[in-house]
Amino acid sequence: MSVYVALTRGGQPWEPEYIEAVSHEKCIGCGRCFKVCGMDVLSIMGVSEDGDLVAIAEDDEDDDGEIDRKVMTVKYPENCIGCRACAKVCTKGAQRHVKVAVNAA
């Protein structure tokens, strides 16, 4: 039997929708989702001219020419609580979230 994995404070079923991926075609690297997520799930990365993901410092505002643009990545998906705050602030529809049913024992 599938069950909800959480309840609201009022005891109503709450079905988390966990972030699964960020489309690097749609993402503009604005960082809004990173700022609203309190669970250390997301990480901003650079995209090189060759299309490779490269690490950058999160507070690095410099464009030293090594990266073409920035994109968000799902670094620690296991930390996600499925609150969808990140989806609410994304104006590009760049994220995909999934519901995960839990089977009762």
Sign, CA torsion 10/16/19/25: negative
Among 6-14, 47-55, 61-69, 91-99, the segment contacting ligand SF4 (CB under 6 A): 91-99
Site string for ligand SF4, 51-90 (x = CB under 6 A): ---------------------x-------xxxxxxx--xx
Among 3-11, 35-43, 46-54, 55-63, the segment contacting ligand SF4 (CB under 6 A): 35-43
Cα–Cα distances in Å, from 10 out to 7, 13, 14, 104? 8, 9, 10, 22
Cα–Cα distances in Å, from 18 out to 9, 73, 83? 19, 14, 7
The 3-state DSSP class for residue 83 equals coil
| Nearest residue (CB) to ligand SF4, 34 versus 104 | 34
Length of the chain as a residue count: 105
| Site residues for ligand SF4 per CB under 6 A | 19, 22, 27-33, 36-37, 39, 41-42, 72, 80-86, 89-90, 92, 94-95
